[in-house]
């Protein structure tokens, strides 16, 4: 079992633990008891996750004396919206949740994002905890306090920064995750390899890329100790970035490595027939091609990185149904565009990236053309 501490430097400094371990779900109640003063808990989940692990969690919460109510939301990204939010608010009101009570997100990133936003807004904010059950949620979305719902005009447009009291990541639950969902998380894991040094974690003494190269087979076979180590290290890297820049006024943008092109691809696909991991994997390749063409990095590092992505079965291509110009157009309306400038996070040396606001349209389009 590992613990990662997330420290937020705000007006009122704040910290919380992430517990990571194989099989720790059955102790969820005792972990929560230490960090949450609530009597009543509203657990928000979905049918898939709850039917697999719900009873186990409920039993451990009841054993600690919590009163528990369950709300199952319809699953999928298209339900990360105001309707799901309303369902949580309504249930919380009917269940008479008070300020001292708490809402628990139990599921993947969709559940975490919508539940976190509901907790941030119900009674102007009540305690919130995360029990992430996808790899993406364990290494990324449950860490750092971004909570949001989608608007019909765009993804994650309505949200807030709202940190949980505690995160409990049981790596054993990843065994029921479909391979496609595992790979969505792995795309973000690979991203941490490419940005590792820029995250600023002091204790780096070997390369995460080397770890990922060496342990690929163990990772795909869900080796328990390797998975724990992997989730822990990704959480440490993200916690380090969030500690320095909670609200994305600077450094936190590096977490969007691969996402400039990735988001544009998702948008062009209308968020159908491609998942986030596939889009980000293509986007990371695009970032390597731009950096290679600008001589920011040498050809060996470009090739090594592309090989690593391919080894992780991330050899995705863009459909020809839309053009590089369509994609560039899409990038210009992303919410991360500032003062009309498209922001690229590009590699500048192994495991180091920098933020660029001056990539020309020609440079971007030339790289995008290699992604078909």
Ligand X SMILES: NC(=O)c1ccc[n+]([C@@H]2O[C@H](COP(=O)([O-])OP(=O)(O)OC[C@H]3O[C@@H](n4cnc5c(N)ncnc54)[C@H](O)[C@@H]3O)[C@@H](O)[C@H]2O)c1
Provide the angle, in degrees to the nearest 10, between the axes of the packed helices 299-311 and 179-195: 160
Quick one: which of 177, 318, 346, 368 contacts ligand X (CB under 6 A)? 177
End-to-end CA distance of the chain: 43
List the one residue from 21, 144, 262, 286 that touches ligand X (CB under 6 A): 144
Annotation marks residue 317 as catalytic: no
One of 84, 111, 171, 198 touching ligand X (CB under 6 A): 111
Our finding on whether 56 is near ligand X (CB under 6 A) is: no
Which residues between 260 and 299 bind ligand X (CB under 6 A)? none
Q: Are 60 and 28 in contact (CB under 8 A)?
A: yes
User: Can 37 be counted among the known catalytic residues?
Assistant: no
Please report which residue ranges of 207-275 form alpha helices under DSSP H: 208-214, 216-220, 224-244, 259-268
Given 141, 198, 260, 305, the residue binding ligand X (CB under 6 A)? 141
Q: Would you say 86 or 210 has its CB closer to ligand X?
A: 86
- The smaller minimum CB distance to ligand X, of residues 113 and 278, is found at 113
Bridge partner residues of 160 (DSSP): 147
- Respond yes or no: is residue 150 known to be catalytic: no
Q: Considering only 102-110, 123-131, 292-300, 362-370, which stretch makes contact with ligand X by CB under 6 A?
A: 102-110
Using CB under 6 A as the binding rule, whether residue 49 contacts ligand X is answered as yes
Looking at the Cβ atoms of 22 and 134, the one nearer to ligand X is 134
Q: Name the residue among 113, 166, 143, 134 with its Cα closest to residue 53.
A: 134
The one among 58, 60, 73, 75 contacting ligand X by CB under 6 A: 75
By CB under 6 A, residue 110 contacts ligand X: yes
Which one is catalytic: 7, 64, 248, 352? 248
Considering CB under 6 A, how many residues would be counted as binding ligand X? 28
Whether 223 is catalytic: no
**Cα four-point dihedral sign 322, 325, 330, 331:** positive
The residue annotated as part of the active site, out of 58, 232, 263, 343, is 263
Q: Is 107 in the site for ligand X (CB under 6 A)?
A: yes
- DSSP E strands in the chain: the ranges are 2-8, 14-21, 40-46, 67-73, 102-107, 127-132, 146-151, 154-161, 166-170, 344-349, 352-356
CA distance 126 to 115: 11
Say how far apart CA 1 and CA 24 lie, in whole Å.
Answer: 8
- Residue 240 interacts with ligand X (CB under 6 A): yes or no: no
Are 285 and 369 in contact by the 8 Å Cβ rule? The answer is no
User: Segment contacting ligand X (CB under 6 A): 74-82, 189-197, 347-355, 359-367?
Assistant: 74-82
5 vs 278: CA distance, rounded Å = 30
**Binding residues vs ligand X (CB under 6 A):** 46, 48-49, 52, 75-77, 80, 107-111, 113, 133-134, 136-137, 140-141, 144, 146, 156, 173, 176-177, 181, 184
């Amino acid at each position: 079992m590992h613990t990662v501490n997330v420290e937020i430097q705000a007006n009122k400094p704040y910290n919380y633990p992430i517990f990571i371990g194989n099989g720790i779900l059955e102790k969820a109640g005792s972990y929560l008891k230490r960090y949450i003063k609530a009597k009543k808990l509203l657990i928000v989940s979905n049918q898939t996750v709850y039917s697999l692990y719900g009873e186990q969690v409920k039993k451990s919460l009841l054993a600690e004396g919590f009163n528990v109510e369950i709300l199952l939301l319809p699953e999928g990204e298209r339900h990360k919206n105001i309707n799901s939010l309303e369902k949580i608010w309504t249930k919380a009101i009917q269940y008479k949740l008070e300020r001292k009570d708490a809402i628990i997100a139990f599921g993947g990133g969709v559940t975490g994002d919508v539940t976190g936003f509901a907790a941030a807004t119900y009674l102007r904010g009540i305690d919130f905890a995360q029990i992430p059950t996808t790899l993406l949620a364990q290494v990324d979305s449950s860490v750092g306090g971004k909570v949001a719902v989608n608007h019909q005009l765009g993804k994650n447009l309505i949200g807030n920064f709202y940190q949980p009291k505690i995160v409990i990541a049981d790596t054993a639950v990843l065994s029921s995750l479909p391979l496609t969902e595992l790979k969505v998380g792995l795309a973000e894991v690979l991203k941490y390899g490419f940005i590792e040094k820029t995250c600023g974690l002091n204790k780096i003494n070997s390369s995460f890329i080397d770890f990922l190269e060496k342990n690929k087979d163990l990772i795909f076979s869900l080796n328990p100790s390797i998975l724990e180590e992997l989730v822990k290290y990704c959480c440490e890297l993200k916690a380090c970035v969030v500690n320095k820049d909670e609200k994305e006024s600077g450094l936190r943008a590096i977490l969007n490595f691969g996402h400039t092109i990735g988001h544009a691809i998702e948008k062009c696909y209308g968020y159908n027939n491609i998942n986030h991991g596939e889009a980000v994997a293509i986007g990371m390749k695009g970032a390597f091609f731009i950096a290679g063409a600008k001589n920011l990095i040498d050809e060996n590092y470009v090739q090594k990185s592309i090989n690593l992505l391919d080894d992780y079965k991330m050899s995705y291509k863009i459909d020809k149904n839309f053009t590089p110009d369509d994609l560039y157009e899409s990038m210009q309306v992303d919410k991360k565009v500032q003062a009309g400038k498209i922001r690229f996070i590009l590699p500048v040396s192994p495991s180091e990236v920098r933020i660029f606001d001056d990539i020309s349209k020609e440079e971007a389009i030339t790289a995008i053309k290699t992604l078909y």
